[in-house]
Amino acid sequence: RKEVEQDPGPFNVPEGATVAFNCTYSNSASQSFFWYRQDCRKEPKLLMSVYSSGNEDGRFTAQLNRASQYISLLIRDSKLSDSATYLCAGYGNNRLAFGKGNQVVVIP
């Protein structure tokens, strides 16, 4: 089983709509979790860290559920510029493991 699993999609989202996706992890010892945004053939850019209490940054909301071992990302009022691949990542055992990414395509 992969350390971090995501449904790659693509997720076709009408502009202005809300999209949400989850990422499951298998390593219960993972200490920290993150969502990254990656554009094609570019380096990942940190979107936000993920906390059990949930955190929000503008139109983006992230949540960690340790009991069920998943993290989630919700994007409200989708913009065309949100089209990208969203990678979840978990840090544990001195390494950062990434999921395959959720490809989001925002449609006008």
Partner 1 sequence: GAVVSQHPSWVICKSGTSVKIECRSLDFQATTMFWYRQFPKQSLMLMATSNEGSKATYEQGVEKDKFLINHASLTLSTLTVTSAHPEDSSFYICSAPSHRGVLTNEKLFFGSGTQLSVL
Going by their DSSP bridges, the two strands 45-50 and 11-14 should be labelled as unpaired
One character per residue 19-48, x = contact with partner 1 (rule: CB under 8 A) = ------------xx-x------xxxxxx--
Which residues have CB under 8 Å from 32's CB, separation 6+? 49, 50, 90, 91, 92
Question: Per CB under 8 A, does 90 bind partner 1?
Answer: no
Decide whether 74 or 97 has the Cβ nearer to partner 1.
97
* 49 near partner 1, judged by CB under 8 A: yes
Q: Tell me the two tokens of residue 83.
A: 């089209």
DSSP letter at 53?
Answer: T
Give the interface with partner 1 as residue ranges (CB under 8 A). Answer: 2, 4, 6, 8, 31-32, 34, 41-46, 49, 87, 91, 94-101, 103
